[in-house]
Structure 1
Amino acid sequence: MNALSPWAISSSTELAGNTSVIFELKADPVTFKVNLTSDSIWIQTELPAGGRVAFRAAYSPGTNLEIVKTTPQAEGIILSLASAIGKQNLSIVIDQTESSPVLRYTSSLIPAKEMLIPNWPKDILFNGQKDNPEQTDGKIHAGQFGTRTGFLYLSQTRPKSATLLYLQNLTALCDYCDRTETSLGDTVGGEWPELGFSLPPSKKPLPAGEEVILSDAFIAFSEEVPEKESDLMRLYLDLLARIYLLLPKPETAYKHWPDILDKGLKDLIDSPGCWSQVTGHKYFNAYVSDYETPPEIMVQLAVLLPLIDYIEWSKKEMEVTKTIKEGLPAFFDKKLGTIMRWLPAAEDKLKGEEEQKVPKVMDSWYLHHPLLNLSRLALKGDKMAKQLFLDSLEFAIKVAHHFKYQWPVFYKMDTMEVIKAETAEGKGGEKDVAGIFAHVMLQAWELTKEHRYLNEAERAAKTLQGYGFEIFYQANNTAFSSGALLRLYKITKNKLYLELSYMCLAGIFRNVQLWDCNYGYGKNFPKFFSLYPLNDAPYTAVYEEQEVFSAFHDYLKHAEDVDILPSVKLLIAEYIRYLVDRSVYYYPSMLPTDMLEEKVKMGEVDPKLWIALEDLQDGWLKSGTVGQEVYGAGNAFGILPRHYLQIPAEPFMVYTDYPTSGFNAKKGKQISFTILGDPRISCRMMLVKTKKKKIPGFKVLIKGHKVPLKARPVSNGNLEYTIPGNSDITIQLHS
């Protein structure tokens, strides 16, 4: 038996005797009926196999809510409501454009008087066939944490009827938060059978006479009640994509990344705060002006690899890469036979103020991330990187075997003593490390062709079964894991690995923010579709986002000959599009100085430097609390080579904010490539001038369309197009 709140008891009692139906619509496998009770408008929803759930679409405390006007609309209804607290407008729409229906209800209030809101009921009540919510059961698979997407993913299990994805469009509620000085963190949740969204208690009153949205909810339904982990993850991705297509999304704007990169590159190389010198070698600091922490190998390689991407794209030589490489061999410990996290020659700087800031203490993922980057260099032909990589593999395998592919958070490298076993009590260690270890082993197999490395990758991958949404420990490592598992599937044809790859992706998309924080300081920067670095992090971070962006590009590249889920193609492409738009706002020079934290944890923040902040916070909090992240410098170096297609001997580049593949430029004739993603969403393509002279004559064609596309002239003589995803593009140059 479920305990109920007074709201649930009174609501279920009223609904039990309520036979008046204002509006009814059947959308297989669900039937919707709109009812009025004394204080609420309810959407009674009849699910398969006798399940029932009611959605409170509008609410007015008291017993005097009245319907003033009803206006039918396509597949829905608009209601004008009145009560003592003011006038309310409610729109109810059921979308049936695809196989699964999606319910959307949007309510707004014009307060009659200046009004404080001390509490507010949840908007979902599973109420059973006889309106007995205490006798229903269900399972919440995942939900909102902090300021991530306001969602619930759940199944009703008594009766076994349906699975729902509920998503509150929190962007629409930012006016409420701005006026009441409240945050939208942790506003969606609850306990069975009362769930959903409730308004955060106001600190300041809502002004009288000004309309404000109180709810904008989307609910996708499926009659499937998955029992297998793989089905649960697949359905989540599919339902999320289904709602995403209907979700209002902010506009993006073109950012000229070549200029942004030039500014960041100059500051990275020239700013003394980015560098330290140890035993005659220069090393990047992790944070600007953090001279207390010894150099870390992860930091050096996290900057080096994107720099090399840029060098390969631009065909420019850079002395800075030589400087970084010269310092790498000093991280190798001959006694242990492995690279170390901290530079051994500077370990005496560690003061032990944090658990991992102790000599020879390893954060589990920190061993594998540098190995992954060394393997990438090795596969490009770098002999020094190959030696460091191969010489460290036996130690990495030894650690994996010692912990049976289930890594703790921190351990001592010389004794294997566990310093910190779990991320939190009962949560286990760093679960996605098995995936990045598998990635390292696949790289070793590709480099050496030794089959034992492929065997290691498979053994590690199989241990990921059963983690579900808990697989996500750190965003970039979970993304690397997804790609490694996809590669394992392609090599072995074992479908388990593809399913585990989807599990990793579900874990990533469960940790994004599908809303724009337009209140407080959040008005100064876009945050839609941003990604949190850890499963419990309170802020989004540039380094992890940049690496997930790159990993997602690689994922789509490896998936070109695999029939992956359309929902995966859609969500990955959209994450990439929004990152290219908003990640420039990690640079403090793009933000008002009054929203930057004065006292930072690591080093200092120089607002004039084009070095990205680690953190962007909730709208009521200042950002840059951790510091300026030197190892996040790969942001621009990753974007430019992946989104600007260079045309030999022509005065322009082709820019797209979606990922592309198959680029081919025939000198003086035509350019062809494929824009990836989903045809149901469009992206931006631009012809960006690289010289003063005009772009020569040409026409742009989409495969299957006979009429050339028309351009929109934009600033600086550039030309812009709107292109549907999953399109084959040809640009024919006039001779």
Structure 2
Amino acid sequence: MKPMSIWAANAAAELQHIDTLALVSEPVGVSLSLGSDSLWLVKRWPDGGKIAFRTAFSPSGKLRITKMDQQGTKILVSLECSTLKYEVMAAIDEGQRLLRYTVSASPKISLNLPYWPKDMISLNQKGKTGTRGTIHTQQRGTRSGILYFNQDRSGSVFYFQNLSALNRYCEDAQCSAGATVGGEWPEIGFSLPASNAPLKKDQTYIFSEALVNFSDHLPESPGEIAIDYLNRLSLTYLQLPRPERFYLNWLDIVEKGLNDLVYHKGCWSFAAGHAYLNAYVADYKNPPEVMVQLAVLLPMIEYVNWKGETNHQLIAELKSGLENFYEEDMKTIVRWLPAMEENLDHSEEQKKTRIMDAWYLHHPLMNLARLSDHGDKMAHDLLFKSIGYAMHVAQTFKYKWPVFYQMDTLNVIKAETAEGAGGEKDVPGTYADLMLRMWKLTGEKRFFKEAERAAKELVGLSFDIFYQANNTAFSAGAMLRLYKETGNQKYLYLSYVCLAAIFDNVQLWECNYGHAKNFPTFFGIFPLRDAPYTAAYEEQEVYAALHDYLAEAEGIDILPSVRLLIAEFIRHTIGRLAYYYPTMLKSDMIATKSKTGEIDQRLWIALEDLHDGWEHSGEVGQEVYGAGIAFGVIPKQYRKVKDEHFTVFCDYPVASFRKVKKTLYMTTGGDARLECRLIFLLDGRHPYTFNLDLGDEIPGPEPVKVTPELVEFSITGNLKVKVTWTKKSP
């Protein structure tokens, strides 16, 4: 057995003989007990195993109750020790088997807290710590405060620490809520972060706010684990306080960004007779990259088409130089512009001639396939000249890609992301996506078979399927398309595994301490499994990929929890993404020096990275390839209405949007228990009155906001909406 801390050993010994103060819920098996230094909530499983949750804790070893009040399955306890006063509230939803407890504390004197023990300990039927646990996932960095595990054969637990509640503590203690939930079996859970500054006397702080869901079910296969995780996460999500998101005028933002992208010299380099976008503002050291050009080009084309225009100078400029990325001797496009490869400084593994990052080859080919699907001949030719090489690489590596390889020899340069962790595990999914696009373009069965061969390499993976956020999201969509074509349930489950891994890499809490008081963080997604920051480009790509996932899922009975989580992710993403623009931030929170290029705080070009509140953001650089943010948002959230002088915006995904005479029909995504924003944006030429018919003879809602520029309604998700309107006299 692994050695335990002295606090855990003492707790385990005490819990064997501790008396029960109160039974909180008999059906769920939760009771309240007081030890010498802790107030415990103890869950007893049907087989006699236990898991104990530490609430109030006394570092001095002496804790006494001053008041206790119980009403049904809700209990409130007041306690104190020599240095702290506590209020502990615990309540149980017996139907959902959901325990919620909040620990509030007020220091009697100014206090430093250099250490705090974990708040969970697992005990077997004899009351000892000799249990076995399988931890499916736990918090990494500043991601959600989640711990999800099987406790021996007793049952499974989904634990969520609402880190938003800790903001006042973290602000005064000058500490981070990152890496606070986890541990090693059997001493696990949440530990209050050590203070770097004293807490204030008589100030009330939340020391813990936990939501815990119990289940007798023991998920074991990756598919079972993913489905259970998504369902329990959505259940917990409904209980969370969620920050309000305000409408951001993306129609204005996109034009500012487009102007800066086109005219700011730091965004461009010139080589081989063409202008190319830099990856980062003022990044003149590195050669242009093919992915950068296409990552901006595709959403730009979507935006121009949305506007009803046929072309734009930026589109023509980006297309004109793409063929220069093709290497005839290898018969494939390459990452770095060959004409400038001598500029590579070899400072990183990928900054060498003909070194390929495994996912990087597929990404531009997928975008070329999208362009080909819209009839672009240049893209079609470049794609078909390169696809044979991509298939050769896949077959050589037997659909298990390393991190880096030499393109001309296929020698492996870096095999694993970390020792024993394997290569880029979601790359088989991006390859499957590419092959399915090729199958759609050609109808050739060999491409479909390649997609299925690659998909086999995702079987058996769980949360570790996630290498890079956008690639995992593309993989989810590819697996869903395979399910639609074959009817094979394993592909649907693989799509859920990808989605669970994505939602395990988000930040479901609002960081409101330090610099993060200046920007929203709730539902931000991290680009890599161990990345210390959220990133603009990957967020935008995940946002687009999940929109596509819902479009593919039309007519399929996918998990309601998936629809809920994707809709909420979309809603919060479009309320946050604009805060990657330095123009939206305070200058003192932005790094004065970046890893690549320079930062111009006047530009509507996104910073790559937003960090924990105590760190500066923009340390990586100001990413030009993140310029697709606004281009991508507008076609998905704004809808023009033919022959009318208004545009419709909804911050949820919308399906079946159509106009029939003087009536609009649409269906909101998401869940009926949550609300979204529906706005009619007026162009100023005509005032309008809008009426919403939600069916079931229910009176339509009144607008929550009416101005000369817009009319706003609040409606629920998963709702069929009928809209009629009348023009007012000017």
Q: TM-score by structure 2 length?
A: 0.98
The corresponding residue for 1:415 is: 409
The corresponding residue for 1:304 is: 297
RMSD of aligned alpha carbons: 1.2
The corresponding residue for 2:251 is: 258
d(CA) in 2 for partners of 1:73, 1:657: 40
**SS at 2:123 equivalent:** coil
d(CA) in 2 for partners of 1:19, 1:177: 34
TM-superposed CA distance for 1:697, in Å, is 2.8
The corresponding residue for 1:130 is: 126
d(CA) in 2 for partners of 1:48, 1:387: 64
1:142 pairs with 2:137: yes
Tell me, yes or no, if the aligned pair for 1:38 and 1:62 is still in contact at 8 Å.
no
TM-superposed CA distance for 1:691, in Å, is 2.3
Tell me, yes or no, if the aligned pair for 2:532 and 2:611 is still in contact at 8 Å.
yes
1:485 pairs with 2:479: yes
The corresponding residue for 1:729 is: 721
**SS at 1:589 equivalent:** helix
1:234 pairs with 2:230: no
TM-superposed CA distance for 1:653, in Å, is 1.3
The corresponding residue for 2:348 is: 354
The corresponding residue for 2:192 is: 199
Tell me, yes or no, if the aligned pair for 1:703 and 1:727 is still in contact at 8 Å.
no
The corresponding residue for 1:4 is: 4
Q: 1:584 aligns with which of 572, 578, 584?
A: 578
The corresponding residue for 2:58 is: 60
The corresponding residue for 1:369 is: 363
Tell me, yes or no, if the aligned pair for 2:345 and 2:351 is still in contact at 8 Å.
yes
d(CA) in 2 for partners of 1:715, 1:6: 63
**Aligned 1:76-91 pairs, distance under 5 A:** 76-91=74-89
The corresponding residue for 2:696 is: 704
d(CA) in 1 for partners of 2:598, 2:690: 50
**Any unmatched runs of 5+ in structure 2?**
none
d(CA) in 2 for partners of 1:186, 1:265: 38
- Whichever residue aligns with residue 600 of structure 2, its letter is D
**SS at 1:62 equivalent:** coil
**SS at 2:29 equivalent:** strand
**SS at 1:658 equivalent:** coil
**Aligned 1:326-337 pairs, distance under 5 A:** 326-337=320-331
d(CA) in 2 for partners of 1:321, 1:297: 14
- Whichever residue aligns with residue 508 of structure 1, its letter is I
**Aligned 1:265-664 pairs, distance under 5 A:** 265-316=258-309, 317-664=311-658
The corresponding residue for 2:114 is: 118
d(CA) in 2 for partners of 1:74, 1:26: 11
- Whichever residue aligns with residue 293 of structure 2, its letter is Q
CA shift digits 1:647-704 (9 cap, x unpaired): 122222111111111110234x11111111111211111112222531x233111133
**Any unmatched runs of 5+ in structure 1?**
none
Range with greater deviation from structure 2 (74-83 or 329-338): 74-83
CA shift digits 1:469-499 (9 cap, x unpaired): 1110000000000000000000011111111
**SS at 1:500 equivalent:** helix
CA shift digits 1:507-540 (9 cap, x unpaired): 1111111111111101000000100001111110
1:103 pairs with 2:99: yes
- Whichever residue aligns with residue 698 of structure 1, its letter is F
**SS at 1:375 equivalent:** helix
TM-superposed CA distance for 1:75, in Å, is 2.7
TM-superposed CA distance for 1:345, in Å, is 1.0
CA shift digits 1:689-734 (9 cap, x unpaired): 222531x233111133431111112555422211111111110123
TM-superposed CA distance for 1:331, in Å, is 0.8
Structure 1 residues 172 and 103: alpha-carbon distance in aligned structure 2, compared to 1, 3 A threshold:
same
TM-superposed CA distance for 1:221, in Å, is 1.4
Range with greater deviation from structure 2 (5-14 or 109-118): 5-14
Q: 1:676 aligns with which of 661, 669, 678?
A: 669
Range with greater deviation from structure 2 (213-222 or 78-87): 78-87
Q: TM-score by structure 1 length?
A: 0.97
**Aligned 1:680-691 pairs, distance under 5 A:** 680-691=673-684
d(CA) in 1 for partners of 2:71, 2:378: 68
d(CA) in 2 for partners of 1:565, 1:384: 40
TM-superposed CA distance for 1:140, in Å, is 0.7
Tell me, yes or no, if the aligned pair for 2:705 and 2:713 is still in contact at 8 Å.
no
TM-superposed CA distance for 1:47, in Å, is 1.7
Range with greater deviation from structure 2 (435-444 or 68-77): 68-77
- Whichever residue aligns with residue 70 of structure 2, its letter is P
d(CA) in 1 for partners of 2:323, 2:237: 47
The corresponding residue for 1:34 is: 32
> What percentage of aligned pairs have identical amino acids?
50
**SS at 1:424 equivalent:** coil
Tell me, yes or no, if the aligned pair for 1:660 and 1:676 is still in contact at 8 Å.
yes
Tell me, yes or no, if the aligned pair for 1:118 and 1:201 is still in contact at 8 Å.
yes
Tell me, yes or no, if the aligned pair for 1:360 and 1:414 is still in contact at 8 Å.
yes
The corresponding residue for 2:20 is: 20
Tell me, yes or no, if the aligned pair for 2:66 and 2:78 is still in contact at 8 Å.
yes
d(CA) in 1 for partners of 2:326, 2:612: 40
Tell me, yes or no, if the aligned pair for 1:122 and 1:197 is still in contact at 8 Å.
yes
d(CA) in 2 for partners of 1:715, 1:292: 49
- Whichever residue aligns with residue 259 of structure 2, its letter is K
Structure 1 residues 126 and 715: alpha-carbon distance in aligned structure 2, compared to 1, 3 A threshold:
farther
